[in-house]
Amino acid sequence: MATYLEFIQQNEERDGVRFSWNVWPSSRLEATRMVVPLACLLTPLRERPDLPPVQYEPVLCSRPTCKAILNPLCQVDYRAKLWACNFCFQRNQFPPAYTGISEVNQPAELMPQFSTIEYVIQRGPQSPLIFLYVVDTCLEEDDLQALKESLQMSLSLLPPDALVGLITFGRMVQVHELSCEGISKSFVFRGTKDLTAKQIQDMLGLTTPAMPMQQARPQEHPFVSSRFLQPIQKIDMNLTDLLGELQRDPWPVTQGKRPLRSTGVALSIAVGLLEGTFPNTGARIMLFTGGPPTQGPGMVVGDELKVPIRSWHDIEKDNARFMKKATKHYEMLANRAATNGHCIDIYACALDQTGLLEMKCCANLTGGHMVMGDSFNTSLFKQTFQRIFSKDFNGNFRMAFGATLEVKTSRELKIAGAVGPCVSLNVKGPCVSENELGVGGTSQWKICGLDPTSTLGIYFEVVNQHNAPIPQGGRGAIQFVTQYQHSSTQRRIRVTTVARNWADAQSHLRHIEAAFDQEAAAVLMARLGVFRAESEEGPDVLRWLDRQLIRLFMFHLRRSPFLQVFNNSPDESSYYRHHFARQDLTQSLIMIQPILYSYSFHGPPEPVLLDSSSILADRILLMDTFFQIVIYLGETIAQWRKAGYQDMPEYENFKHLLQAPLDDAQEILQARFPMPRYINTEHGGSQARFLLSKVNPSQTHNNLYTWGQETGAPILTDDVSLQVFMDHLKKLAVSSAC
Amino acid sequence: MNVNQSAPPVPPFGQPQPVYPGYHQSSYGGQPGSTAPPTHYGAYNGPVPGYQETLAPGVSRAPPSLGAPPATTAQTPCGQAAYGQFGQGDVQNGPSSTVQMQRLSGSQPFGSAPLAPVVSQPTVLQPYGPLPTSSQVTAQLAGMQISGAMAPAPPTLGLGYGSFGPGRGPQPNYGSPYPGAPTFGSQPGPPQPLPPKRLDPDAIPSPIQVIEDDRNNRGSEPFVTGVRGQVPPLVTTNFLVKDQGNASPRYIRCTSYNIPCTSDMAKQAQVPLAAVIKPLARLPPEEASPYVVDHGESGPLRCNRCKAYMCPFMQFIEGGRRFQCCFCSCINDVPPQYFQHLDHTGKRVDAYDRPELSLGSYEFLATVDYCKNNKFPSPPAFIFMIDVSYNAIRSGLVRLLCEELKSLLDCLPREGRAEESAIRVGFVTYNKVLHFYNVKSSLAQPQMMVVSDVADMFVPLLDGFLVNVNESRAVITSLLDQIPEMFADTRETETVFAPVIQAGMEALKAAECAGKLFLFHTSLPIAEAPGKLKNRDDRKLINTDKEKTLFQPQTGAYQTLAKECVAQGCCVDLFLFPNQYVDVATLCVVPQLTGGSVYKYACFQVENDQERFLSDLRRDVQKVVGFDAVMRVRTSTGIRAVDFFGAFYMSNTTDVELAGLDGDKTVTVEFKHDDRLNEESGALLQCALLYTSCAGQRRLRIHNLALNCCTQLADLYRNCETDTLINYMAKFAYRGVLNSPVKTVRDALITQCAQILACYRKNCASPSSAGQLILPECMKLLPVYLNCVLKSDVLQPGAEVTTDDRAYVRQLVTSMDVAETNVFFYPRLLPLTKSPIESTTEPPAVRASEERLSDGDIYLLENGLNLFLWVGASVQQGVVQSLFSVSSFSQITSGLSILPVLDNPLSKKVRGLVDSLRAQRSRYMKLIVVKQEDKLEMLFKHFLVEDKSLSGGASYVDFLCHMHKEIRQLLS
């Protein structure tokens, strides 16, 4: 058999699953001793160009509490046309369509290579995709112009039958009616008043006053009723004009005030509108905002400019007046949207904070995107926004809606919870653990917006008792069933069934150890850490993490913006955490420990230690932190460039050297969502701080002279270096007699 | 015969009547010339012992009889009545002064036999016979002797009360038993064995005659206002006014121009002291509108203490360095820039150069101190708020209105000769949600913004809602074209109301200006919103203690809203198009309190009502309005303005706040004594109105009026104006119905009237038999007019009068001026075919009684709101042909509202007359053609106010008898 590394990679390729342990300790006691829980990173919609969906429905186990789906791990009696469920051992008859089944004529779901398989459900109405733009008009003129252009551009990317809607807000909230000729019509709401969904629907005239007799039967498309959401093909021109005519919020903003921005009400209306018209249909609410909400429910800061928006300091001191209330408001909205299967994207572009801290749950709970930038008039926003509408190899959007993820386990395992862009569906069952890790207490989650990279961390608990050993060679199985609305509007079900060996930790410790996936474990632990950091006080989490497990990654994790709030605004922290909780393993690793490449005349580009000692005068460094791409020219290189050597034909190699990191950076920029901040700096440049803040401060002002001066760049920080950290660690490890 | 008309047998005016040698009333005939000092009555101060005992002991004033009435009559025994026209002449004028009388004070005595005893003498009753010649006394029939000419009445012994059978019960309409009423007004010669005697209608005071006389006597010369306490000509008379120091009667009319010095006197007389003020009254083109005085930054000069404005009555002293306030006597310094020397009479040399020193009415430009928030106001705005619910669309209203607005917007009021109006306009449509429109000039097409949050109304846009018409014309036209289309298929029947006003008010607030809302509304606002109403119309409440609730608003929400509107200077004009009950009483609250107008078009249909509505709308939009106004009436020490009637809001007891005030709106102010007045200095009124003109200029309009003061009751009675009195009493009563049962209100009116007349009788009239009804000359129409008020729809509704109609009329009357109340309560009835066709003047009116109609004639009847053309059954065919273009009476369409345009003199004349009548009134009167004996005639007869009405209102004659009885009771 291949190495575990290959096995892990293979499994990830095929199933989109990576476990922290690939051989499972067979008893609860042993599992707890392992410290790192049995958990996996699941990318439910991992792109599988080689996996065509099958055009029929899955076969379910007939036991009502189980309903597991027929999979390659099931035992099949071809003669009796029976199959045994590998989760509950129920024996099931094959449905009539499977009469021709035999050893040589197997349906796809029984073949081992189809441990992941996708079914297309044919029944049920197909509802179009819905895009509801919620646009802030309190922007600077050029920002608004750029945003308008981006939005107009996006219309051309939408499928012609997609429904679109437009809500604009400033001091008031306007819901635009899109199918009007001759006069543009909008419904206006006060930005200060919280309305219930019922009120919103009444006011928008969506609740048809029970018209007796009239058209009781005709089942036209139920969605034609909404004037506010219209097929793009019908109102393309109208909407383009409407967007073109959008003006900045006309209400005067006096000196020393922030514009009044009713983000809270606008979102509430967007949620209410979709809730009333298209419940349980895939829909994206896309919020574009250029500043913090300043009035009404969900306000984050008052309109007085002299009062700055809350900082971490304020939050610690309990001085953030509006935070709790606002958070509650957005949480309520997020939950409502999630219930209805709608996802909320937040595109916040402003130099100051925009209240992402309060609004984060909207994206986090519904699987929406969160994009943070400085201005709508930057390529960061423009390209990121375009990338949302990128298409896969089949020409479909890389997005899925209204998904539910159901997890089934063998009886030795229970589900402890999940960390990711999901909400609990509160489905209790025999395989749900009482101990919660992440969002727990359920075996099903709702993920309103999914893309091929969305990744959840799912945590399990081994419940097998020590005195009831599992027979040698026994395997535990887990089935992930993801039902979702594909962007082609089909409903699909993707089923992944995986199994791993059980091993007795006492006798087979080496096996288990060898099958440990440290990358997955690190990310999974980090996710737990971030999850806790979101809900608990920062230092406590760090202490918890220190206690749990300390390895190299963890040094960087401790310093990462996911746990440290120092030097980050609350909004930035929320933003980083948001992405950390949904990116796949590779990206997560980059986030935890940024990658540093070094370019020099000495050889091909090479990865180097993320350490201050790597910062050398004759090198070009390329750092990828996921959120930032930094190109850093060493002192000498910078001088050379300044001197213009690259333009001299005899120094063409220098020109190439300069170009190489740029090309590599472009490659990363092309692929990543959201687009990272691209920083091109040099020694002594102000932007160099992005690099300096990330590297291991092996040389600081404290030890500068002891280390000598010949290499590296000193970092002015009081943070401990990895060396010191490791020293402490060793001491602790030895002294603590656990 | 006609009362007051000099009849041949009457001796020359001014000659003491031999029969009553004891009376020297001749001088009461009037104040010939303008200089007659009030003291010349002193000659009659001899005590008349007979009346002594009625005086309150210790009151040091002349016995009431001393100011004896100029006209008296003695009771001729046995019903012999004498009607002396003593009052008409002035002895001092000598015999030559036959017809030069002004409308003089005087009294008109009516003799009457004792009521009760006569019942036992039925046999001697003289049946009603053919009318005697007009020169003869004819009023004997009902035993009610109306003294007419000097000729002795026919000997009718034991006159007239026989018909008052003892078996008759008290008439329910009156507080006390009123015998015989039901038979009054019946046609002559009832088939009873004992035919009832009735009072000859011709013998009782005729409004028509009074109006005619006044026209003839006073219409020719201009009314010069220089003299204190002059009674102006009647409102029905066309006359020119020359302002020489007192405000024109077009601005202020008083119930009396000579007011008692003391409150005791005033109480005794019971004559209300009130002024009917129309501060922005329109003037005929011949009269100049008030001069605008600009005192620059210092602003108008005022008394330091009472803050009265500089006026012609201020007394300059100390060589012009100081002036003494004519209201509070405070002595003020004259600021240096205002100083001017005095001439030998103590008058400022520049008195005639300065309007505020020589005129009764003028305007000051206000300084910034007089502006809200110490900021000069921005030009006002008009907001058109159109109901687009199903009813409005179906009736064609919306289409019609939008079409009309396109051209009407060019006619917004503008200041002086300004090229374009400064007024900005905005548009809102609504059903149960509101639609605002952005009509900014830069837009390619209008934008509609729907606000459905009616519970918490707000204005969704700032920029582009209120626009200049010319700049945004294209967008506005496009909008007005689209509104009818957009809602053409509406099914929405529910409407809101309060949020609409709220929205308009908020819009003005946001724009920081005053303005006017034009609301076009169709139905009871039952949609869930603030100010939601329910149908509470209940006819069963009529004549119960709860009747008042029908006039009260259903909810207090509208009062609160109105208050906010007033604070913002937001005036609301309401056009109602109801198909059923809409609760006018509640809907009118805001227009009423903001100085707005209400128009009601029941069952509106474009074909029938288009002209009327459009005409009203045009007028309403174009009329000059003062915005955000405050009016204050200052008076000489001694009296005080205590009560105000009209369409306005008051947050304290002195300032009348008017969000808007136009030239039709009138405020009636009542005064009470709080001290003694001085006969010499008289009583002064100064009405100051601070307002924003339609171009946004802040101004003060000042009206001054000086009145005489008297210590003799007779002077009071001689200088009264019945029309103004009726205006006051109607408004008083119409307000009373809000708080008291209608019956109480009616009784109070009757009592007050009786008290007024009894006081006169007791104190001023010559001693005569108690059975004689004696009326002061100035008040001889009081009974007939009062009766009209009493039987008006508000106070005594007929079966066909809806609750909404009553509330509507009640509301209308509240801000009517004297001319309007006059014709409203006593409609004009004009015979069309009696006068020669070629005469160009209006035909003389006839009395509003069925008896006056001849079935061979055609009549026009108007009361300021309604216009009827009554066609007698036996009108000549030629007339029918030339008017209606049909061959016979039977072919005339009943209820026709437009006369065919025919090219013949009669048709032209009638149509011309109709047009001229309409032009005289502030509201368009829809014409209704009524045929004799037709169903519609019932409607028409309702306006024949001298007759007994179907709803139980008394006929004039009956009422007069009743009044007489009341007076007698008071006297005994």
What confidence category does residue B52 fall into, taking pLDDT thresholds of 50, 70 and 90? very low
Q: Which residue of A has its CA nearest to B448?
A: A185
Establish if A629 touches chain B: CB-CB under 8 angstroms.
no
Query: CA B573 to CA B550: how far, in whole Å?
Result: 22
Q: Is B482 on the interface with A (CB under 8 A)?
A: yes
Using the Cβ of A196 and the Cβ atoms of chain B, whether some distance falls under 8 Å is answered with: no
Average pLDDT, chain B: 81
Q: Which amino acid is at A3?
A: T
Helix (H) or strand (E) holding A628: strand A628-633
Residues in B closer than 8 angstroms to A204, CB to CB, are 452
Q: Which of B452, B489, B496 to mutate to test the interface with A (most CBs of A within 10 A)?
A: B452
> How many CB atoms sit inside 10 A of residue A112's CB?
8
The mean pLDDT value for B656-673 works out to: 94
Q: Which residues of B touch A183 (CB under 8 A)?
A: 445-448, 478-479, 482, 486
Phi, psi (5° rounding) for residue B363?
-125, 145
Which are the contacts of B767, defined by CB distance < 8 A and separation ≥ 6?
Answer: B48, B50, B51, B65
| pLDDT level of residue A556 (50, 70, 90 thresholds) | confident
| Residue whose C-alpha is closest to residue B646's, from B660, B666, B630 | B666
pLDDT tens across B680-734, in order? 989 999 999 999 998 889 999 999 999 999 999 999 999 999 999 999 999 999 9
Give the rounded percent of residues in chain B with a pLDDT score beyond 70: 79
SS3 B139: coil
Report in angstroms the alpha-carbon separations of B374 from B366, B367, B368, B369, B810: 11, 9, 6, 6, 38
Six token digits for residue A734: 């030895």
- Nearest alpha-carbon partner for B197 in B292, B118, B276: B118
Nearest residue on chain B to A184, judged by CA atoms? B447
The CA distance from B515 to the nearest CA of chain A, in Å, is 21
Query: What are the tens digits of pLDDT across the range A312-366?
Result: 889 888 888 899 999 999 999 999 999 998 999 999 999 999 999 999 999 999 9
Residue B446 touches partner A, C-beta closer than 8 Å:
yes
Angle between helices B742-763 and B956-971 (to 10 degrees): 60
| Average pLDDT of the segment spanning A571-581 | 90
Q: Are B62 and B711 in contact (CB under 8 A)?
A: yes
Say which DSSP state A304 is in: B
**Tokens standing for B95?**
């015999």
> What pLDDT does A704 receive?
54
Alpha-carbon distances of B674 from B638, B662, B713, rounded to whole Å: 5, 32, 18
Q: What is the pLDDT of residue B572?
A: 95
pLDDT in the model for residue A80: 87
Per-residue model confidence (pLDDT) at position B560: 94
Residue A246: what residue type? L
Strands (E), A55-181: 75-77, 82-84, 91-93, 116-121, 130-136, 163-169, 172-177
Q: State the DSSP H helix or E strand holding residue A235, giving kind and residue range, or none if neither.
A: helix A232-245
| Distance, CA of A228 to CA of A277 (rounded, Å) | 10
CA angle A533, A535, A541 (to 5 degrees): 35
Query: Residue B23 above 90 pLDDT?
Result: no
Write out the two tokens for B546. Answer: 């709860």
C-alpha B219/C-alpha B238 separation (Å) is 5
State mean pLDDT over A667-674. 88
**Residue B599 phi, psi (nearest 5):** -125, 140
Q: Tokens standing for A503?
A: 């091993």
For residue range A276-326, list pLDDT tens digits in order.
888 888 899 999 999 999 999 999 999 999 999 999 889 888 888 899 999
Q: Record the tokens describing residue A261, joined without a space.
A: 């921005």
pLDDT at B149: 34
Which of A64-78, A360-374, B103-117 shows the lowest per-residue confidence on average (mean pLDDT)?
B103-117
Dmax (CA) of chain A: 91
Asked if B352 contacts B312 with a C-beta cutoff of 8 angstroms, the reply is no
Taking CA atoms, A417 is separated from A332, A458, A482, A504, in Å, by 21, 6, 16, 24
B133 has a pLDDT exceeding 50: no
Query: Is residue A175 predicted with pLDDT exceeding 60?
Result: yes
**Interface contact flag, B451 A187, Cβ < 8 Å:** yes
> Which chain B residue has its CA at the smallest distance from A193's CA?
B456
Q: If you average pLDDT over residues B383-408, what whole number do you get?
A: 94
Terminal C-alpha separation, chain B? 31
Q: What are the strands, taking DSSP E only, across B679-808?
A: 683-692, 698-710, 773-776
What single DSSP character describes residue B466? Answer: S
Give me the residue label for tokens 């509208």.
Answer: B558
Amino acid type, A9: Q
Tokens of B518: 């034009």
Handedness of CA B539, B545, B546, B548 (dihedral sign): positive
pLDDT at B930: 93
Tokens of B574: 């309401």
pLDDT tens readout for residues A427-478: 998 889 988 889 999 999 999 999 899 999 999 999 988 888 787 778 899 9
Residue type at position A294? T
- Of B394, B409, B476, B407, whose CA–CA distance to B438 is shortest? B476
Mean pLDDT of A139-167: 92
Q: What residues pair up with B685 in beta bridges, in sequence order? A: B635, B705
Distance from the A183 Cα atom to the nearest Cα atom in chain B, whole angstroms: 5
Hey, what amino acid is at B111? G
Give the sheet arrangement for strand A456-462, strand by strand. Answer: A17-19, A39-42, A456-462, A413-419
Closest CA to B621 of B469, B472, B509: B469
- pLDDT for A38 beyond 60: yes
B447/A182 CB distance under 8 A: no
Residues 6+ apart with CB under 8 A from A537: none
Give the per-residue pLDDT at B923: 92
Q: Would the pLDDT of B1 be above 70?
A: no
Chain A residues touching residue B453 (CB < 8 angstroms): 189-190, 193, 195, 199, 203
Backbone angles phi, psi at A638, to 5 degrees: -60, -40
Half-sphere exposure of B329 (CA within 13 A, CB side): 6
Q: Cβ contacts (< 8 Å) between B460 and chain A: which residues?
A: 172, 174, 188
Residue numbers in A near B486 (CB within 8 A): 183
Q: How far apart are alpha carbons B616 and B612 in whole angstroms?
A: 6
CA-based nearest residue in chain A for residue B451: A188
Tell if the CB–CB gap between B460 and A203 is shorter than 8 Å: no
Measured between CA atoms, how close is A290 to chain B, in angstroms?
21
Residue A706's pLDDT is 52
Residue B59 has pLDDT above 50, yes or no: no
Residue B67, pLDDT above cutoff 60: no
A35: left (phi over 0), alpha (psi -120 to 50) or beta: left
Token pair 């009472």 is found at B306
Q: How many residues does chain A have?
A: 738
Q: Per mean pLDDT, which range of A293-297, A546-550, B14-18 is the poorest?
A: B14-18
Out of B450, B452, B453, name the one closest to residue A185 (CB): B450
Mean pLDDT over residues B241-255, rounded? 94
Percent of chain A with pLDDT over 90: 38
Q: What is the pLDDT of residue A316?
A: 85
pLDDT of the residue at B477: 94
- Look at residues B616, B646, B640 and name the one whose alpha carbon lies nearest to residue B728: B646
Tokens, residue B481: 């074209």
- ipTM metric: 0.83
What is the C-alpha to C-alpha distance for residues B923 and B932, in angstroms, rounded to an integer?
27
pLDDT at B163: 33
Nearest by CB: A188 against B450, B482, B486:
B450
Mean pLDDT of all residues belonging to chain A: 86
Give the Cα separation of B458 and B225 in Å (integer).
Answer: 51
> Going by C-beta distance under 8 Å and a sequence separation of 6 or more, which residues neighbour residue B837?
B905, B906, B909
Give CA–CA dist B796/B737, Å, rounded.
Answer: 11
pLDDT at A99 over 80: yes
* B182 to B100, B143, B172, B366, B797: CA distances (angstroms): 41, 16, 10, 60, 18
Q: How far is CA A537 from the centre of its chain?
A: 23
Q: How confident is the model at residue A102 (pLDDT cuts 50, 70, 90)?
A: confident
- Cα–Cα distance for residue pair B892/B885, rounded to 1 Å: 9
Q: Is there a contact between A193 and B451 if contact means CB atoms under 8 Å apart?
A: no
Single out the residue of A472, A378, A506 nearest to residue A29, CA to CA: A506
Q: Summarize pLDDT for A488-520 with one digit per residue, the tens.
A: 888 899 999 999 998 887 888 888 888 888 888
Task: Tell me how long chain B is.
Answer: 972
Residue B842 pLDDT > 70: yes
Identity (one letter) of the amino acid at B9? P
pLDDT at B240 over 80: yes
Position with higher pLDDT, A55 vs B143: A55
SS3 (DSSP) at A9: helix
Q: What is the pLDDT of residue A537?
A: 63
Closest-CA residue of B relative to A209 is B492
Give the integer Cα–Cα distance in Å for A557 and A565: 12
pLDDT at A545 (0 to 100): 67
Question: pLDDT per residue over B476-502, tens digit each?
Answer: 999 999 999 999 988 899 999 999 999
Task: Identify the band that residue B66 occupies on the pLDDT scale cut at 50, 70 and 90.
Answer: very low
Q: pLDDT tier at A106 (50, 70, 90 boundaries)?
A: confident
* Mean pLDDT for the stretch of residues A87-100: 88
Inspect the interface and report whether the beta carbons of B452 and A205 lie closer than 8 Å: yes
β-strands A491-503, A475-485 pairing: antiparallel
Average pLDDT over residues A562-575: 85
Nearest to B693 by CA among B380, B367, B364, B297: B380
Q: What is residue B434's predicted lDDT score, i.e. its pLDDT? A: 93
In this predicted model, which residue has the larger pLDDT, B347 or A211? B347
Phi, psi angle pair for A642, to nearest 5°: -60, -40
Q: For the packed helices A379-388 and A141-157, what is the interaxial angle rounded to 10 degrees?
A: 20
pTM: 0.82
Beta carbons of A618 and A636 less than 8 angstroms apart: yes
Residues of A in contact with B456 (CB under 8 A): 190, 193
Interface size between A and B, measured as CB pairs under 8 A:
65
Cβ–Cβ < 8 Å for B509, B373: no
Long-range CB pairs of A319-326 (<8 Å, 24+ gap) are A322/A358, A323/A357, A323/A358, A325/A297, A326/A264, A326/A293, A326/A297, A326/A298, A326/A299, A326/A300, A326/A355, A326/A358, A326/A359
Q: What is the pLDDT of residue B774?
A: 87
| Residue among B354, B372, B368 nearest B299 (CA) | B368
* Contact status of B461 with chain A (Cβ, < 8 Å): yes
